[in-house]
Chains A and B, each alone.
Chain A
Amino acid sequence: MSARMRSVTRWIGAAAAVSTALTVWLGLWVTPPAEVQGTLARLLYLHPPIAWVALYCAFGVAALSSVLYLWHRTRSLFWDRLGASAVEVGVVFTALTLVTGSLWGRPTWGVWWTWTARLTSTALLLVLFLGYLALRRVPADPEVRARRCAVAALVAFVDVPIVTFSVDWWQTLHQRGTVLNPGLTLKVHGLMAWTMGLGFLAMTLVFVWMLLVRYRVEVLADRIGDGELEVSLSERWAEGSMPVIGDGAGAAGAGATAGVTALGTALDATLRQPAGGGR
């Protein structure tokens, strides 16, 4: 990753931190409590934005990069790494969606968990992409792993529309979309709407920042993976060319020292031979 990209990442990180802090300040101190839900409604400045990042941004990026990887003209490990990074960040955000939703549901509905379609399918989505991460951990050739993971991500992504439309398919007690309802009319007002909007911006920025950082980690990890064998091999050689026992023999006689050194050289030669032949 170029130095320019790194500074862009840093700026996005700073913007994410600032906008998140602003959201927290507006959400906790400036906005009034909601009419019906009181202070509980403040959680809604974060919960929908987190869900938005998890369900649409992260898994959207993952699906798109999987398609681009599988399509032979755009096949590049860049898409594989980007997709994997997006899934990993997406899994974190999906878990956060469930946790924040659960925290809100306990006082509102009186239970931590209800078996509604939306909750259940979000939990399923989490398990599904945990499966993806498990598949990714299986050691394999990078190309093979990339193709396998791209297919897995696409198949899992088919589940996302089921999550989105499940609210309309199954009649449940989860409220219907407030912002993204069919008419696209905002049902939140004034300062609260602005705070929620800022929440969306903040979480999206956090997502982009995490994605960029994660992508960089992926690149570095691959580079270490490639270089590791070479490094270990050269370290091993360096070890081998040293005398096996140091010159501590001293007064015990030059003959003994010479013998030990000869042994060391012989060992060194045997150590080198098979690997040298294999190259």
Chain B
Amino acid sequence: MWRDALLVAGKDIRIELRSRVALWQVLPFAVLVLVLFGFALGPGPRALRVAAPGLYWLAVLFSTVLATQRSMAIESGEGTRDGLRLSGIDPAGVFLGKAAAVAIQLVAVQVLLGAGIVVLFDVHVQTWWLALVASVLATVGLSAAGVLYGALSAGLRVRETLLPLLVLPIVAPVLISGSRAWSAAVSGAVASGASWLKILGPFAAVYLAVGVALYGPLQEVA
């Protein structure tokens, strides 16, 4: 399973590196969202600084939807999915691999967004480890839930409109606890921030487990 996951993740990342869709579409989109939030909340630095953690995670969520759609679009070519199934790769491996590829893209998005809120919104993070741990756990949860729902709506003609409706409510706990944890990391309130990791951690674990268990039946469908 793990070897299969590595293979699939490697394939997806290689496709991304060659096609540069993530680089030229997802990353600029994330930055655009930040700039638009700036417009919406006005130029006053205080409002932006207070809202920054929430805006950061909202931008990450939107990027997750894009990255997931892209991850499924790779597989939508003529016979691609059948090829993947014929290759005898474990469905759980496919799930983990695709989730890992999405996660790597999300890490790139978050590095850029992190720099963005520091530069644009003048945010100073006090407790770096808290922000990092929260980000890692959230990324795992986001990519697992995203790929799971991406596979669910793959092959449907209405997937562009359906996917956000399905994914965004599911990942709302990540938005809540991610932004709380980041607020705590910015203000330096470590104890209260660390308690939010108790939601991010189980969220990631649950959706990884559900994905590993259910990706098989889903793949047969699509």
Chain A residues at the B interface, C-beta cutoff of 8 Å: 70, 120, 124, 127-128, 130-131, 134-135, 138, 140, 144, 147-148, 150-152, 154-156, 158-159, 162, 169
Is B165 a contact of A159 with CB atoms below 8 Å? no
Summarize A's interface: helix, strand, loop or mixed: helix
Residue B166 lies at the interface, judged by CB distance under 8 Å to chain A: yes
Across the interface, which residues of B come within 8 angstroms of A120, CB to CB? 176
A138-B156, A155-B148 known; A147 and B220 CB under 8 Å? Answer: yes
User: Given A124-B169, A140-B156, A147-B218, 17 other A-B contacts at CB below 8 A?
Assistant: A128-B170, A131-B165, A131-B166, A131-B169, A135-B152, A135-B162, A135-B166, A138-B162, A144-B221, A151-B152, A154-B210, A155-B152, A155-B207, A158-B206, A158-B210, A162-B173, A169-B198
In the assembled complex, the Cα of A127 lies from the Cα of B172 at a distance in Å of 11
Q: Name the distance in Å between A175's Cβ and chain B's nearest Cβ.
A: 21
Residue B71 lies at the interface, judged by CB distance under 8 Å to chain A: no
Interface residues in B67-86 by Cβ distance below 8 A to A read none
Count contacts on B: residues with CB < 8 A to the other chain: 25
Interface residues in B138-175 by Cβ distance below 8 A to A read 145, 148-149, 152-153, 156, 158, 162, 165-166, 169-170, 172-173
Across the interface, which residues of A come within 8 angstroms of B88, CB to CB? none
Is B170 a contact of A159 with CB atoms below 8 Å? yes
Is A127 a contact of B152 with CB atoms below 8 Å? no
In the assembled complex, the Cα of A49 lies from the Cα of B192 at a distance in Å of 35
In the assembled complex, the Cα of A213 lies from the Cα of B74 at a distance in Å of 43
In the assembled complex, the Cα of A147 lies from the Cα of B221 at a distance in Å of 7
Identify B169's interface contact among A128, A138, A147, CB under 8 A.
Answer: A128
Interface residues in B160-213 by Cβ distance below 8 A to A read 162, 165-166, 169-170, 172-173, 176, 198-199, 206-207, 210
Most A CB contacts (10 A, CB to CB) among B166, B198, B207 go to B166
Across the interface, which residues of A come within 8 angstroms of B217, CB to CB? 70, 147, 150-151
Q: Name the distance in Å between B118's Cβ and chain A's nearest Cβ.
A: 28
When C-beta atoms are compared, the residue in chain A nearest to B161 turns out to be A134
The 14 listed contacts between A and B (C-beta, < 8 Å) are A70-B217, A127-B165, A127-B169, A131-B162, A131-B169, A138-B162, A147-B217, A148-B221, A152-B149, A152-B152, A155-B145, A155-B207, A155-B214, A162-B173
Across the interface, which residues of B come within 8 angstroms of A159, CB to CB? 170
When C-beta atoms are compared, the residue in chain B nearest to A117 turns out to be B176
In the assembled complex, the Cα of A159 lies from the Cα of B173 at a distance in Å of 9
Across the interface, which residues of B come within 8 angstroms of A154, CB to CB? 210, 214
